[in-house]
């Protein structure tokens, strides 16, 4: 939403500067995206007078002018404008000025062998209009030497404000002025609505046959109008808002929309046939809109039509053939209230956006129909003349209120349909009064130690998040929506949106990895040599939402150095280490977990696994990403990923917040190393787990510390070196006891297919 400072002050009595206005807008939640002063573009341009004009000696279409720019030193200028002549007062760009239309910096130059200093400018070159056939002609009494920005009163900053979807009341300059006045920046000057009764009955029947989509439809005819250019003041305000002036009739409707947030439409009465009706479209009907494109309609859309057919996509865009032209003499004015939901669905279905749609789908003020029609009528009569008819009012708009009763019962203003409860009212008070001005008052607190407020799930998330950050992983926060292609790479999403914001946000994510992989791809495309990302969030399955932690490792594990040589790369064991560490932080006893396969089709089948608490309860999946999956995300090289299914971690019952006292053993532990030959198909984790369970009274830890295949090892087998830690309780082990334990280890290993190496 753009508007000039002078336009704002038409509705707001204030002495505030542009900076003060911007600060107040930001403070009350209307974010200022930019401020631009048109005078800045006109720096270096002055009012100047042509003293002499003579033909160019080398070019028939050029003239050599002598120009007085007010500094007492006439300059020679080569000019090709057909209207350049002695005595003309125009706009001169001095050396060093920048031409707004093309960014060219003016400098002394030679044109066909004749020196030229500066430039006499056209309207188009200064971006003041479309006329480029000649240079600007100012009145003869224009003060020579005056800065053109000052002469043209161009020092009028334009403010660009981002309007959130819930603030439909600020889609017009008047609404923004009302908000600033409420915040104490000045006094609101509401527009004076004229009383226009109409001198004759409306000759055209107006009605609404779709009260659900168009509850209210008001209109009147104005006969004898003369279309043409709109007044300069109106064109200036429209230009500040980014609107191109079209004609007086069209400009008046656009002005009402930008000033008051109220879209309206003017039809050429000569192009209408019979009653004008708001109705549902018929399936298969077509309409050619003002943008020249043809759109197919359905019965779920509201249109404005007559007996000949559809003229308007209601609330979004008018039809091409019924719009006003220079020959229009009689107009039908339409101002209506359209249901926001209907407008939004229609616009999405047709992929059609417009200024009118952006306001109607937010919800315009339903009580502003009569005032809006009166204001539009007054604008047109003052600008184009004509005789207005009486008003026809079809239907009834939904009305609200806005008052505070003695018992603090509050009714809401008609222009604030977003206020829907006490929370919104509190938000309004805080927004306008200012958060800094609200006194901080502590809530009463019960005696004693406060009870924990976090749920077990929240506590779990915090533990895992802190542990991941402590291990050097960077947290990412991604959308819960994915493009269909990314969801398909992970088996497809169960839930998809019928009307997504965009096609890139269509499917609810079945995994956290797609978002992390996209983030990794963006970082690596920007030159990141190492990516370590994690995210804690929810994936969306057929039965419920599942709390999950996702991890992606890519690029260099450690940079190259003189000690290590080339840079080390991540592998599947790094993912396993991260998973085990985070599970331990979550309170899982990781020593007893089973390492099994079936990590998923998106993982490399030979370089991935799952960690399970029992055969069926999968706590995590990890490993190297499948090359096809990595390719789907435009990722090169080895990509490591993992998912920890936090919802699968069993909740602890009755666990206190204090750890048991540390009681170190009285006797020193004993370690024994074993080397086994095993089939290369045997999972080392299965062997380790079996040995750990063969003597729970003595064996406290089992660790694989070497794996070897090659010379001295039979083909189809590998050598696994296992360290077993034994902890005596009340007395040291004897040789016989140690041998007995070792025998149990060897016997248990043999049942797994392992043979003790000689």
pLDDT value for 399: 62
Task: Provide the pLDDT for residue 527.
Answer: 85
Same-domain status, 122 and 174? no
Which pLDDT does position 17 carry in this prediction?
93
- Give dist(CA 498, CA 300) in Å, integer: 15
Tokens of 421: 């409860």
Cα separations (Å) of 746 from 690, 691, 756?
Answer: 11, 8, 7
Question: Considering Cα of 301, then 333, then 367, then 190, what sign does the dihedral take?
Answer: positive
Percent of the chain with pLDDT over 90: 56
Q: 97 pLDDT band (50/70/90 cuts)?
A: very high
Structural domain includes residue 400: no
In a domain, 430, yes or no: no
Spatial separation of the C-alpha atoms in residues 511 and 632, rounded to whole Å: 15
Mean pLDDT of 386-405: 80
- For residues 333 and 220, the answer to whether their CB atoms sit within 8 Å is yes
Whether residue 33 has pLDDT greater than 90: yes
Nearest alpha-carbon partner for 11 in 166, 237, 243: 237
pLDDT score, position 420: 74
Residue 406 placed within a domain: no
| Inside any domain, residue 490 | yes
Alpha-carbon separation of residue 576 from 271, 453, 551, 583, 636 (angstroms): 74, 33, 11, 10, 21
Q: How far apart are CA 412 and CA 404, in angstroms?
A: 9
Q: What is the pLDDT of residue 334?
A: 95
Question: How crowded is residue 670: how many other Cβ atoms within 10 Å of its Cβ?
Answer: 15
**Residue 751 in domain:** yes
Give the per-residue pLDDT at 404: 58
Residue 450 placed within a domain: no
Q: Which domain holds residue 304?
A: 206-395
pLDDT at residue 491, as a whole number: 84
* 62 three-state secondary structure: strand
Same domain, 137 and 168: no
Cα 70 to its chain centre, rounded Å, is 51
pLDDT, one tens digit per residue, over 347-395 is 999 999 999 999 999 889 888 999 999 999 999 999 999 999 999 999 9
Find out whether 536 and 549 touch, Cβ atoms under 8 Å.
yes
168 and 146, same domain (yes or no): no
Q: Report how far residue 164's alpha carbon sits from residue 425's, in angstroms, rounded to the nearest whole number.
A: 17
pLDDT band at 498 (very low <50, low <70, confident <90, very high): confident
- Quick one: 293 and 240 in the same domain? yes
pLDDT at residue 659, as a whole number: 59
Mark whether 386 and 309 lie in a shared domain.
Answer: yes
Residues 14 and 49 in one domain: no
Q: What's the farthest any 2 CA atoms get from each other in the chain?
A: 123
Neighbours of 296 (CB within 10 A): 13
In the predicted model, what is the mean pLDDT of residues 442-455?
A: 81
DSSP character at residue 316: T
Q: Let me know whether 86 and 146 are in one domain.
A: yes
What is the side-by-side order of every strand in the sheet holding 59-68? 75-79, 59-68, 45-56, 89-93, 119-120
User: CA 296 to CA 281: how far, in whole Å?
Assistant: 10
CATH, residue 175: 3.30.56.10
The tens digit of pLDDT for each residue in 355-368 reads: 999 999 988 988 89
Residues 496 and 625 in one domain: yes
Q: Is residue 446 part of a domain?
A: no
Instruction: Specify whether 342 is located in the same domain as 480.
Output: no
Using one digit for the tens of pLDDT, what is the confidence trace for 663-699? 788 888 899 999 999 998 888 888 888 898 888 888 9
* Angle in degrees, 0-180, between the axes of helices 248-260 and 232-240, rounded to the nearest 10: 50
What mean pLDDT is predicted for residues 432-443? Answer: 79
> Do both 248 and 333 map to the same domain?
yes
Look at residue 319 and give its three-state secondary structure: strand
**CB 363: neighbour CB atoms within 10 A?**
23
Q: For the purposes of burial, counting CB atoms within 10 Å of the CB of 526, is it exposed (0-12), middle (13-18) or buried (19 or more)? A: exposed
Percent of the chain with pLDDT over 70: 96
Q: Where are the beta strands (DSSP E) in 215-345?
A: 216-223, 265-268, 276-280, 286-288, 294-296, 302-306, 309-313, 317-318, 330-337
Burial category of 500 from C-beta neighbours within 10 Å (exposed 0-12, middle 13-18, buried 19 and up): middle
Per-residue confidence (pLDDT) for residue 616, from 0 to 100: 87
| Listed residues 395, 429, 464: the one ending a domain | 395
| 729 pLDDT above the threshold of 60 | yes
Q: Which residue has the tokens 């992390």?
A: 516
Number of folded domains that form the chain: 5
Contacts of residue 250, Cβ cutoff 8 Å, sequence gap at least 6: 266, 323, 324
Residues near 543 by beta carbon (within 8 Å), at least 6 away in sequence: none
What is the DSSP code (8-state) at residue 592? G
> Which 3 state secondary structure label does DSSP give 129?
coil
In this model, does residue 657 exceed pLDDT 60? no
Q: At 101, which CATH number? A: 2.40.50.140
CATH code at position 677:
3.30.70.380
Say if CB 508 and CB 496 are below 8 A apart.
Answer: yes
* Token pair listed for 242: 């980014």
Q: Are residues 222 and 352 in the same domain?
A: yes
Mean pLDDT of the chain: 89
Q: Is the dihedral of CA 576, 582, 584, 586 positive or negative?
A: negative
What residues have CB less than 8 Å from 522, skipping those under 6 apart? Answer: none
Q: 207-248, pLDDT tens digit by residue? A: 999 999 999 999 999 999 999 999 989 999 999 998 989 999
Kindly indicate the confidence band of residue 564, based on its pLDDT and cuts at 50, 70 and 90.
Answer: low
CATH of residue 521's domain is 3.30.930.10
Mean pLDDT for 598-609 is: 88
Residue 621, domain member (yes or no): yes
Q: Is 506 exposed, middle or buried (0-12, 13-18, 19+ CB in 10 A)?
A: buried
Same domain, 332 and 385: yes
DSSP string, 566-591: SPEE--HHHHHHHHHHHHHHTT--GG
Average pLDDT estimate for 161-170: 87
Quote the distance between the C-alpha of residue 749 and its chain's center: 59
List pLDDT tens digits, range 113-130: 899 999 999 999 998 877
What CATH number does the domain containing 311 carry?
A: 3.50.40.10
Task: Render 361-416 in DSSP notation, one character per residue.
Answer: TT---GGGHHHHHHHHHHHHHHHH--EE---EEEE--------B-TT--B---TT-
Please state, in angstroms and as integers, the Cα–Cα distance from residue 717 to each residue in 673, 676, 706, 711, following that order. Answer: 19, 10, 14, 11
């Amino acid at each position: 939403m753009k508007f000039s400072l002078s336009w704002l002050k038409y509705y707001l009595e204030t002495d505030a500067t542009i900076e003060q206005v911007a600060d107040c807008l930001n403070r009350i939640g209307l974010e200022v995206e930019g401020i631009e002063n048109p005078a800045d573009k006109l720096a270096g341009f002055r009012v100047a007078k042509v003293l002499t004009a003579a033909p160019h000696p080398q070019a028939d279409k050029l003239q050599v002018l002598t120009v007085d720019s007010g500094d007492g030193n006439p300059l020679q200028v080569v000019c090709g404008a057909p209207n350049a002549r002695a005595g003309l007062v125009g706009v001169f760009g001095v050396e060093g000025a920048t031409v707004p239309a093309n960014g060219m910096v003016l400098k002394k130059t030679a044109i066909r062998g004749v020196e030229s200093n500066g430039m006499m400018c056209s309207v188009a070159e200064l971006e003041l209009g479309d006329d480029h056939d000649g240079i600007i002609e100012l009145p003869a009494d224009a003060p020579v030497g005056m800065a053109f920005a000052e002469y043209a009163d161009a020092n009028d900053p334009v403010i660009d404000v981002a309007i959130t979807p819930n603030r439909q009341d600020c889609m017009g300059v008047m609404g923004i002025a009302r908000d600033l006045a409420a915040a104490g920046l000045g006094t609101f000057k509401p527009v004076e609505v004229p009383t226009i009764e109409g001198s004759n009955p409306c000759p055209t029947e107006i009605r609404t046959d779709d009260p659900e989509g168009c509850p209210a439809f008001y209109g009147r005819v104005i006969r004898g109008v003369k279309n043409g250019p709109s007044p300069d003041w109106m064109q200036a305000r429209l230009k500040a808002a980014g609107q191109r002036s079209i004609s007086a009739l069209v400009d008046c409707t656009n002005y009402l929309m930008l000033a008051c947030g109220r879209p309206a439409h003017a039809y050429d009465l000569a192009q209408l046939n019979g009653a004008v009706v708001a109705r549902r479209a018929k399936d298969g009907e077509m309409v050619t809109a003002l943008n020249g494109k043809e759109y197919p309609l359905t019965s779920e859309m509201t249109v404005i039509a007559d007996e000949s057919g559809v003229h308007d996509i209601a609330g979004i865009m008018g039809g091409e053939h019924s719009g006003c032209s220079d020959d229009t003499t009689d107009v039908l004015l339409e101002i209506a209230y359209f249901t926001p939901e209907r407008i939004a669905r229609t616009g999405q279905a047709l992929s059609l956006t417009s200024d009118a749609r952006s306001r109607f789908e937010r919800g315009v003020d339903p009580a502003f129909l009569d005032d809006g029609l009166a204001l539009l009528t007054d604008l047109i009569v003052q600008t184009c003349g004509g005789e207005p008819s009486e008003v026809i009012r079809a239907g009834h708009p939904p009305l609200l209120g806005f008052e505070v009763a003695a018992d603090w019962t509050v009714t809401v203003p008609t222009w604030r349909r977003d206020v829907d409860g006490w929370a919104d009212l509190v938000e309004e008070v805080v927004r306008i009064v200012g958060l800094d001005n609200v006194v901080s008052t502590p809530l009463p607190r019960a005696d004693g130690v406060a009870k924990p407020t976090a749920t077990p799930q929240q506590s779990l998330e915090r533990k895992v998040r802190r542990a991941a950050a402590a291990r050097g992983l960077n947290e990412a926060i991604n959308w819960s929506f994915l493009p269909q292609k990314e969801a398909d790479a992970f088996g497809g999403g169960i839930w998809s949106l019928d009307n997504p914001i965009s096609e890139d946000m269509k499917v609810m994510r079945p995994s956290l990895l797609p978002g992390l992989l996209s983030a990794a791809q963006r970082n690596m495309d920007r030159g990141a040599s190492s990516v370590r990302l994690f995210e804690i969030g929810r994936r969306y399955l057929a039965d419920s939402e599942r709390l999950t932690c996702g991890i992606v490792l890519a690029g260099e594990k450690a940079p190259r150095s003189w000690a290590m040589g080339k840079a080390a790369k991540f592998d599947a064991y790094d993912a396993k280490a991260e998973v085990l560490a985070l599970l331990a932080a979550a309170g899982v006893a990781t020593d007893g977990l089973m390492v099994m396969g079936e990590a998923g089709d998106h993982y490399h089948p030979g370089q991935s696994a799952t960690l399970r608490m029992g055969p069926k309860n999968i706590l995590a999946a990890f490993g190297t990403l499948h090359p096809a999956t990595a390719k789907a995300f435009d990722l090169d090289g080895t990509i490591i990923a993992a998912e920890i299914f936090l919802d699968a971690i069993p909740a602890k019952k009755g666990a206190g917040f204090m750890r048991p006292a540390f009681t170190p053993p009285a006797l020193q532990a004993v370690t024994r190393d074993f080397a086994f030959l095993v089939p290369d198909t045997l999972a080392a984790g299965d062997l380790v787990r079996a040995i750990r369970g063969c003597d729970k009274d003595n064996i406290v830890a089992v660790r694989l510390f070497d794996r070897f295949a090659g010379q001295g090892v039979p083909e189809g087998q590998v050598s696994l070196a296992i360290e077993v830690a034994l902890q005596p309780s009340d007395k040291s082990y004897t040789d016989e006891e140690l041998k007995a334990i070792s025998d149990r280890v060897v016997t248990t290993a043999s049942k797994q297919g392992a043979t003790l190496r000689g």
